[in-house]
Amino acid sequence: MEVHAHSHTARKKWTHYFWEFLMLFLAVFCGFLAEYKLEQTIERHREKEYIASLYQDLKTDTLNMIILLKGTKEDIANYDSVFDIFKSKKYLQETSNAYYFGRKLVTLRPFYPTDGTITQLENSGGLRLIRNRAIVDSIQSYKLTISFLKSIQDFEREHFALAKSLMGKIFDANVFDIMIGDGSNTLQRADKNYPLMPFTAAELNDFHIPMNFIKRNKITQIALIKRLQEKASDLMKLLQEKYRVN
C-alpha cells in the first residue's frame, strides 16, 4: 500500500490577521465618516433653508407692524376726537363727526405674525440646526414679545365687547348703516346731522369708561409694537451677518 504524505498549509502570521482587521476597520470607519458628512451637509442645507424662510417672514412682519402702528395711533386719535366732541358739547351743534369717529372707535387690529417658519422650527426640532446661540435666543425673545402683544390685544377685546353693548345708548344704528352704504367704499361721514339717541350723562360716562381702558390698552400696544420692531430688526441683522441672507 502506498502511503501519501499530507501537505500542510503554511500557517498565517499574526500580522496578516492584523492587516485584515485594520482594512475592515478602515472600511467601516470611512463609511461612517461619509454618512456623517452627508448628514451634516443635509442639516446645513436645511439650516440655510430655515434661515432664508425666517428672514422673509420677518420682512413681512415688519411691513405689517408699520401698518399696525399707524392704525393704532389713528385709533387713539379717534378716541380723543370723540371724547372732545362730547366733553365740549360740540355734538349739540353738529353730530356728523360724533357718528364718524364713534363708528371708527370699535375697530380691532389683531396682529397676525407670519410665524410658519418659527412654528415649524419648534415642532420639528429644527432649532437645534441653528448653530448660533444668539440667533436662537433672539428668536425666542421675538416670539415671547409677540405672545405678550397678543395677550394685550385679547384683553382689549373684552373692553370692546362692553363698549359695543353701550353704543346703542348713544348712537342710532340706522345712521351707521347709512355711513356704510353698499360697502364698496370706506366709511363715509353722515350726509347730515342725524340726531343722537336721548342718552343721559351716566350712560355717556358708562360708554367712555371702557373706551378709556381701550385707549390705555392701545398706548401699551404701541410700546410693544415698537419693541417688536426693534427685535425683528435685530434678528434680521443677525441673520444677515451670520448667513448673508437678504
Average pLDDT over residues 124-150: 89
Burial status of residue 131 (CB atoms within 10 A of its CB: 0-12, 13-18, 19 or more): exposed
**Sign (positive or negative) of CA dihedral 77, 79, 80, 81:** positive
The reply to whether 7 falls in a domain is no
> Among 25-29, 48-52, 77-81, 198-202, whose mean pLDDT is lowest?
25-29
- Using only the alpha carbons of the chain, give its radius of gyration: 35
pLDDT for 145 equals: 95
**What pLDDT, in 10s, does the model give residues 87-103?**
999 999 999 999 999 98
- Structural domain count, the chain: 1
Q: Which domain holds residue 80?
A: 14-243
Q: What DSSP element (H or E) covers 171?
A: none
* Mean per-residue pLDDT of the chain: 85
Confidence band (pLDDT; 50, 70, 90) for 26?
low
pLDDT for 187 equals: 82
The reply to whether 2 falls in a domain is no
Greatest alpha-carbon span in the chain: 144
The reply to whether 32 falls in a domain is yes
| Percent of the chain scoring above 90 in pLDDT | 57
Burial status of residue 54 (CB atoms within 10 A of its CB: 0-12, 13-18, 19 or more): buried
**What pLDDT, in 10s, does the model give residues 34-74?**
555 545 555 667 878 888 999 999 999 999 999 999 999 99
The reply to whether 9 falls in a domain is no
pLDDT for 8 equals: 53
Q: What DSSP element (H or E) covers 7?
A: none
pLDDT for 49 equals: 86
The reply to whether 130 falls in a domain is yes
pLDDT for 1 equals: 47
The reply to whether 119 falls in a domain is yes
**What pLDDT, in 10s, does the model give residues 151-194?**
999 999 989 899 989 999 999 999 999 988 777 777 888 889 99
The reply to whether 5 falls in a domain is no
**Whether pLDDT at 228 is above 60:** yes
The reply to whether 87 falls in a domain is yes
pLDDT for 2 equals: 53
**Whether pLDDT at 9 is above 80:** no
Short-list 200, 169, 175, 172, CA closest to 189: 175
**What pLDDT, in 10s, does the model give residues 203-221?**
999 999 999 999 999 999 9
